[in-house]
Chain A
Amino acid sequence: LSSLPLQILLYVNGIYYIFYFLATLAMIIYKSQVFSYPDDFLAPDLAVLFLMALLEVPQLYLGFKGNLTEAEAPLGLSLGLTVGSVVLCMYLLLWQTYVLQADVLLNGVLLMAYGLESGLKVMAIAAFVS
């Protein structure tokens, strides 16, 4: 049976991610205006943010598909992409040029969501395999 909590979490994650992406982009722009933000520090931060957005879309799609069709392959792939997103999220939390308090909050919430999601995905895969 498809996991209902995972479905709810994926749905909420999608909505939250859009907010997260826009907020982080706006804050990077704010930081570049208010603080001294040279181009060779700005480029990696922006690259990581856009890369994370690129990973998020297939991850959510595969998660939905895998959960609804009760197939473990897409769900497994989605789990792999989640790990990548977690790494990038850690980068934005710890190694960004300027980490604001708001950054800490947003990334923290996203990390918690990813963590919960990963756990639910593992349980769902276990349920589907058996």
Chain B
Amino acid sequence: PADTRDAAQAGVRSAPAPVTDVSRLCVCDLLVAQCDTNCCCDPDCSAEDFSLFTTCSVPAVVGDSHLCSQKAAVYSLDVEANPPERIFKLIDQVNPSIFCIHATNYKQALYLKSPEIPTSENFDELLDKYGGATFSAEPDSWNLDTDMQNPPEANETSRYEYGLPVQTEDAFLRLPSPVVSSWCSDANPAGFLVNQATKCIRSVSVEKCDSIQALSMLFYINSSILASVFQVNITVQSIVVQSLNGMRTSLSSSEVLRLPVVLDELCINAVLGVNYHITHTDTGEIIEAAAAFVLGTISKEELSIEQSFEISFTQENTQPVPLSGNPGYVVGLPVRAGFQPQGYPFPAASLVASLALSSNKHSQLTILQSTSTQDCLTAQGARAPVLFGYNMISGCKLRITAAMKCQPLAQTLLDVLKGQSFPEFVASFGNSQAQDVLDWVPITQLHISEQMISHTLQSSCQIPVSLGIEVKWTKYGSLVNPQARIVNVTATITTSTLKQLPSGRERIIPITSSVVFTDISSPAEPSYKAWPTINIKLPFDFFYPFV
């Protein structure tokens, strides 16, 4: 056998030969040189020990039961005798089945394989086979490195599917991203149609900044993307230069490649952000790729900079408008809103009337975003988009002094509450198109005055103190997959009287804005298909001789 051969050659202790004699096998013999209780097959037990046993834990030791005839060692306790004694019988057990193994010429069939003893000759081979986290019959198929280095074939890159890495000349289009920690890893491929935005930290040093590849524009536009039969070069769309104090200026000429250069003790033209825009056809072929760069300056003290990367995919000849659901609104996506262009009456039966939609954040339905300063007058501009299904409340504090005039203050507060461009219409479905005017719900504006007391003078000042947007939505469509549909949007402005203050005094008034989503769906009525009708008719000549 192989064990003894190994032992003879290497002089190393080999694995012990397997024991196959049933009379010597004892599973319950666990203690060495000691008698195990109730273990009738233990050779360390004497006759006195057997007399103390109550039963045999292992009544029989049998080999492979598939064999036609095999030896079995049967142990039993004869409790009738005084003292009880153990009976050991070696019998031939016969397997009556006609498919019992009569003989076998394959030694390992009935026994477990003895593992190979590692020697200095076979150690490397054993390490290759068993050293990894998984073993397989064909270890070559698990070699992931060869996959990455294999250049892709031409016919594979003809069309991309969602999620597949965008392939370039050398490997794939890389979007550096933080992997385990916040440090940038360059091995993250950009997936087709997967819009991503990542931020990660890169360690830099000003002295070597022109040799660090990831800081140079060339690294990001070097390789061209493989698409169908030709290659698409990545063009530079725009370059924005950010100065040390954070001010950004857009460069007019974006054809010139700006590489990092050490100037005084600063490194200029270092890449701080890349924004890829890939244009594709509706069949999945990439036709254009552009990159917009943000270049910045690194000072000597900075040991690491934060780089941000983004990639977005646009279909050719379309304007990207993000949908908030298809068709019903998805909880968490922004509520889409728009304006009707001037001059078109509503409802417009003509196909020409359409809503001016834009993905610009300022035309969406937004509410005031609370800031850390909580001062209404200094917080202009910070707005949060209204997300479907999320009730929000925000506010700020208004400090009123005696010197403030009413009318400008009221107008300012209205701007603060409603924002620069408060929309007129809200999309009823998440995917409503701008040309379907009937799919859009007008926003009803209400004004409520806090004090409706008749003796209040009309000329006294009314300032808006709260804006409440109530969105009523319903479940629409099939019972098993209901879609959310906005039915009604009401924006209520509550105004309150501003009392004139004596000079020198000031008051603080809270200003609030809130969004509430209410489900007004009526209970669903399940409807079933009509029962099939059974049409049984006898043929007209069934009663032939008689009719």
Chain A residues in the interface with B (C-beta under 8 A):
27, 30, 35-36, 41, 94-105
Q: B97 touches which one: A27, A36, A101, A104 (CB < 8 A)? A: A101
> Is there contact, CB below 8 Å, between B105 and A95?
yes
Q: How far is the CA of A106 from the CA of B160 in the complex (A)?
A: 60
Q: A100 touches which one: B102, B106, B108 (CB < 8 A)? A: B102
In the assembled complex, which residues on chain A have CB atoms less than 8 Å from the CB atom of B104? 97-99
Q: How near does chain A come to B38, taking the closest CB pair, in angstroms?
A: 35
- Asked if B99 CB lies within 8 Å of chain A CBs, one says yes
In the assembled complex, which residues on chain A have CB atoms less than 8 Å from the CB atom of B97? 101
Q: How far is the CA of A4 from the CA of B99 in the complex (A)?
A: 36
- Asked if B457 CB lies within 8 Å of chain A CBs, one says no
> Is there contact, CB below 8 Å, between A101 and B68?
yes
Q: How near does chain A come to B29, taking the closest CB pair, in angstroms?
A: 28
Residue among A27, A94, A103 with the highest chain B CB neighbour number at 10 A = A103
In the assembled complex, which residues on chain A have CB atoms less than 8 Å from the CB atom of B68? 101
* Minimal Cβ-Cβ distance residue in A for B97: A101
- Asked if B98 CB lies within 8 Å of chain A CBs, one says yes
Q: How near does chain A come to B506, taking the closest CB pair, in angstroms?
A: 91
Q: How near does chain B come to A84, taking the closest CB pair, in angstroms?
A: 21
Q: How near does chain A come to B318, taking the closest CB pair, in angstroms?
A: 57
Q: How far is the CA of A30 from the CA of B98 in the complex (A)?
A: 13
Q: How far is the CA of A27 from the CA of B102 in the complex (A)?
A: 13
Q: How far is the CA of A126 from the CA of B172 in the complex (A)?
A: 84
Q: B98 touches which one: A35, A95, A99, A102 (CB < 8 A)? A: A102
- Asked if B263 CB lies within 8 Å of chain A CBs, one says no
In the assembled complex, which residues on chain B have CB atoms less than 8 Å from the CB atom of A30? 99
Q: How far is the CA of A103 from the CA of B68 in the complex (A)?
A: 12
> Is there contact, CB below 8 Å, between B103 and A101?
no
> Is there contact, CB below 8 Å, between B102 and A36?
no
Q: How far is the CA of A41 from the CA of B106 in the complex (A)?
A: 8
Q: How far is the CA of A90 from the CA of B100 in the complex (A)?
A: 19
- Asked if B101 CB lies within 8 Å of chain A CBs, one says yes
> Is there contact, CB below 8 Å, between B105 and A101?
no
> Is there contact, CB below 8 Å, between A100 and B101?
yes
In the assembled complex, which residues on chain A have CB atoms less than 8 Å from the CB atom of B256? none
Q: How near does chain B come to A26, taking the closest CB pair, in angstroms?
A: 11
Q: How far is the CA of A36 from the CA of B109 in the complex (A)?
A: 6
> Is there contact, CB below 8 Å, between A97 and B98?
no
Q: How far is the CA of A119 from the CA of B97 in the complex (A)?
A: 34
> Is there contact, CB below 8 Å, between A98 and B100?
no
> Is there contact, CB below 8 Å, between A36 and B101?
no
* Minimal Cβ-Cβ distance residue in B for A41: B106
Chain B window 50-77, contacts with chain A (Cβ cutoff 8 Å), 1 for yes, 0 for no: 0000000000000000101000000000
Give residues 80-101 of B contacting A (CB, 8 Å). Answer: 97-101
Across chains A and B, which 8 residue pairs bring their CB atoms closest together, nearest first?
A: A99-B103, A99-B102, A97-B106, A102-B98, A100-B99, A101-B98, A101-B100, A98-B104
Q: How near does chain A come to B64, taking the closest CB pair, in angstroms?
A: 10
In the assembled complex, which residues on chain B have CB atoms less than 8 Å from the CB atom of A96? 105
Interface contacts beyond A99-B105, A101-B68: sample of 13 additional A-B pairs, CB < 8 Å, sorted by A:
A27-B99, A35-B66, A41-B106, A97-B109, A98-B101, A98-B106, A99-B102, A99-B103, A100-B98, A101-B97, A101-B98, A101-B100, A101-B102
* Minimal Cβ-Cβ distance residue in B for A103: B102
> Is there contact, CB below 8 Å, between A102 and B105?
no
30 pairs, CB–CB < 8 Å, chain A vs chain B: A27-B99, A30-B99, A35-B66, A35-B101, A35-B109, A36-B108, A36-B109, A41-B106, A94-B103, A97-B105, A97-B106, A98-B101, A98-B106, A98-B109, A99-B101, A99-B102, A99-B103, A99-B105, A100-B98, A100-B99, A100-B100, A100-B101, A100-B102, A101-B97, A101-B98, A101-B99, A101-B102, A102-B99, A103-B102, A105-B98
* Minimal Cβ-Cβ distance residue in B for A38: B106
Q: How near does chain B come to A85, taking the closest CB pair, in angstroms?
A: 21
In the assembled complex, which residues on chain B have CB atoms less than 8 Å from the CB atom of A98? 101, 104, 106, 109
Q: How far is the CA of A27 from the CA of B98 in the complex (A)?
A: 11
Q: How near does chain B come to A37, taking the closest CB pair, in angstroms?
A: 8
Q: How near does chain B come to A38, taking the closest CB pair, in angstroms?
A: 8
Residue among B97, B103, B108 with the highest chain A CB neighbour number at 10 A = B103
In the assembled complex, which residues on chain B have CB atoms less than 8 Å from the CB atom of A100? 98-102
Q: How near does chain A come to B108, taking the closest CB pair, in angstroms?
A: 7
Q: How far is the CA of A41 from the CA of B101 in the complex (A)?
A: 16
Q: How near does chain A come to B122, taking the closest CB pair, in angstroms?
A: 20
Q: How near does chain A come to B153, taking the closest CB pair, in angstroms?
A: 33
In the assembled complex, which residues on chain B have CB atoms less than 8 Å from the CB atom of A95? 105
* Minimal Cβ-Cβ distance residue in A for B96: A101
* Minimal Cβ-Cβ distance residue in B for A97: B106
Q: How near does chain A come to B343, taking the closest CB pair, in angstroms?
A: 81
Q: How far is the CA of A35 from the CA of B99 in the complex (A)?
A: 12
